[in-house]
Amino acid sequence: MYVRCMSQAGATYDTSGVVASLAADDKNSAAELVEVLAHCRSITASADYRMLCAASLIFDERCEDYLIEVAERDSGERVSVDELMAAGMEHFAGRDPRAEFGPDGMERATAEVGAVLNVPAAKAREIITAGDTARYRLVFTGQALAVGRIDLAGFLLICTRTKLVVDPELVKILDTHIAQALFDRPPLSRARLGAMVDAIVAMVDPDALLRRKERAAADRDVTIRPDRFQPGASRVSASLPITDAAAIDARLTAMAASVHSGDPRTRAQRRADALTALAAGVDHLTCGCATCTGPTDTEIDVDVDAPVDPAPAVEQPAPQPIAPPVTAAQPFFHIVVNLSTVLGLDDQPGYLDGRGIIDADTMRALLADAEREFLRRDDPARAATSASTYVPSKKLQALVRAGELCCTFPGCSAPAWSVDLDHTDPFDHRDPHTGGETVRENLKPLCRFHHRVKTFDKRWRDYQSPLGEAFFQSPTGHMFLGNAYTALDIFPALGPPAKPQNHPARTTLATRRTQKRAAHLRAVERADDANPPPF
């Protein structure tokens, strides 16, 4: 079958090859279709890179057109001092002297790109800006998009998180570090990619974190508008500083968890009701279980025509079940930080669970009145004691979660402190010493969804290396590394201890290098003795 179509822009394209590929996919196995998915992801990323560059080139051309039109009508020359002063006053007043010439190059390109891609003006501007970034600002990182190492959403995330680095020399260094990190690792989830980019920004330009903090405070806003996709509902969105958002999120979660287990509402519904309660000035959520909402008094029917007994027997009402008191909502969130930063010895950034990297000053302010837990690498005695129990100790749980950023399944970004801890080798309840022990090397965070998939679908297999790398083998036999970037890259002190400098392997190699160098110097000395000047 041959199909020839015309796009909205007037270009024609042949769909016969696509139709043939779709027909062939019906006969492919699951393993072959996985390769098709990977190929499509790579091709899509390359096409997105070309789309960004094309949008940026359109912007360049429209800017040139605009400048030519302006030059034809206004050369910029002023014949008198009064005209020059008037132009300066217009500038200081914030009025654009070129407004009379109509839309500028960006506005023209935005309209054109938006029409072709059928996207709003804001999205079109984002694409144009990202194209400029890929061509001139983050060139090496843009190449990672071009060859499919990251997707368009990942590149836009990098553009957003690096835009406050303004020094051109620092931008070049930043671009190099990000590109190297991307090419050294398999694709990362959004949470891991964001943390990695933020950590590199903090290393290259620490002041950028402070500028981001100021920008977030200045841009805070809350909008409430009708939901376009669900009639009768409204959508609430807010742009808040990271710590304020974490505090609100923790408060809603705590209020949603404070009711009894018999409450008929889902967790999402309880969080929505908690937000409404906070707006009404109430700091707690009313429980909706049958015990809390049932009648409190027993009704007794009385016959008014019956003779009155001088000493009637009073029937006591049946006792009503008393619901236990609703626990108070205690909001909390988790922060991982080096002790040296808390003590003020350095300004290394910290990690706010589910949110990302935060600067040292903000972190120390949050930790001023917080409950602190000091973690060290595994204590052998404590590890031996907890290895035979199914539930990890609180210290071990904290150590495992602090060493990760999110769920270790490929592509998942569920926060590490709100997911399950999974035994890579299943725990043997009958004989714990023969099965998977409860030790750090055998535990990893997994969200409930991926934990259930891994547990009940036996075709999924997972492996954990001594360095904590979590590998997952799919039913088709494809292998994925789920945690290519972890909190250990940000906080090396939480990882396994480095080999000592006097390790036998290092000593052996150092000795060999010393011997080879000495032999080379002796050979040079013998050659000089055999050929004295003038040679």
Residue 510 pLDDT: 76
> Which pLDDT band, with edges at 50, 70 and 90, does 27 fall under?
confident
| Per-residue burial over 477-514, b = 16 or more CB atoms within 10 Å of its CB, e = otherwise | eeebbbbbbbbbbbbeebeeeeeeeeeeeeeeeeeeee
Name the more confident of 337 and 531.
Answer: 337
Q: Please name every residue paired with 481 in a beta bridge, in sequence order, or none if there are none.
A: 471
- Tens-digit pLDDT profile for residues 378-416: 655 556 566 778 888 888 899 999 999 999 999 999 999
Residue 155 pLDDT: 97
Mean pLDDT of 40-46: 94
Residue 99 pLDDT: 61
Q: Answer for the pair 227, 234: CB distance below 8 angstroms, yes or no.
A: yes
Residue 336 pLDDT: 93
Instruction: Calculate the alpha carbon distances from 454 to 34, 86, 251, 415, 483 in Å.
Output: 19, 72, 32, 18, 16
pTM over 0.85: no
- The Cβ-side half-sphere exposure at 250, using a 13 Å CA radius, reads 18
Name the more confident of 166 and 8.
Answer: 166
Highest mean pLDDT among 94-98, 190-194, 313-317: 190-194
> Which pLDDT band, with edges at 50, 70 and 90, does 90 fall under?
low
Residue 210 pLDDT: 84
Structure tokens at 12: 């024609």
Q: What percent of the chain has pLDDT over 70?
A: 80
Residue 290 pLDDT: 85
Instruction: Calculate the alpha carbon distances from 161 to 17, 140, 168, 400 in Å.
Output: 39, 16, 16, 27
Highest mean pLDDT among 14-18, 111-115, 362-366: 111-115
Instruction: Tell me what the pLDDT averaged over the chain comes to.
Output: 84
Q: What SS3 state is found at 287?
A: coil
| Runs of H (alpha helix) within 205-266 | 207-218, 242-257
Q: How many residues would you count in the chain?
A: 535
Question: Which residue type occupies 88?
Answer: G
- Tens-digit pLDDT profile for residues 474-524: 999 999 999 999 999 999 888 876 555 566 766 777 788 888 888 888 887
Mean pLDDT of 467-478: 92
The crossing angle, in degrees rounded to 10, of helices 168-184 and 139-146 is: 30
- Tens-digit pLDDT profile for residues 124-143: 999 999 999 999 999 999 99
pLDDT above 60 for 240: yes
The full set of domain ranges for the chain reads 26-218, 234-287, 335-366, 393-494, 504-535
Residue 213 pLDDT: 85
> Which pLDDT band, with edges at 50, 70 and 90, does 283 fall under?
confident
Residue 2 pLDDT: 46
Least confident of 238-242, 526-530, 531-535: 531-535
d(CA 136, CA 194) in angstroms, rounded, equals: 22
CA dihedral sign of residues 175, 181, 182, 188: negative
> Which pLDDT band, with edges at 50, 70 and 90, does 171 fall under?
very high
- Tens-digit pLDDT profile for residues 241-268: 988 888 898 889 889 988 888 889 999 9
d(CA 284, CA 278) in angstroms, rounded, equals: 8
The candidate with the shortest Cα–Cα distance to 359, out of 372, 347, 342, 370, is 347
d(CA 225, CA 509) in angstroms, rounded, equals: 67
Mean pLDDT of 158-179: 95
- Tens-digit pLDDT profile for residues 58-87: 999 999 998 888 877 766 565 566 666 766
Q: Answer for the pair 330, 255: CB distance below 8 angstroms, yes or no.
A: no
List all residues 6 or more positions away from 450 whose beta carbon is below 8 Å from its beta carbon: 407, 409, 412
Q: What SS3 state is found at 423?
A: strand
d(CA 218, CA 206) in angstroms, rounded, equals: 19
pLDDT above 90 for 431: no
Residue 282 pLDDT: 87
CA dihedral sign of residues 238, 244, 245, 251: negative
The candidate with the shortest Cα–Cα distance to 460, out of 470, 472, 452, is 472
Residue 75 pLDDT: 62
- Tens-digit pLDDT profile for residues 181-236: 999 999 999 999 999 999 999 999 988 888 888 888 899 999 999 988 888 899 99
d(CA 185, CA 190) in angstroms, rounded, equals: 14
pLDDT above 60 for 304: no
d(CA 336, CA 495) in angstroms, rounded, equals: 14
Residue 4 pLDDT: 52
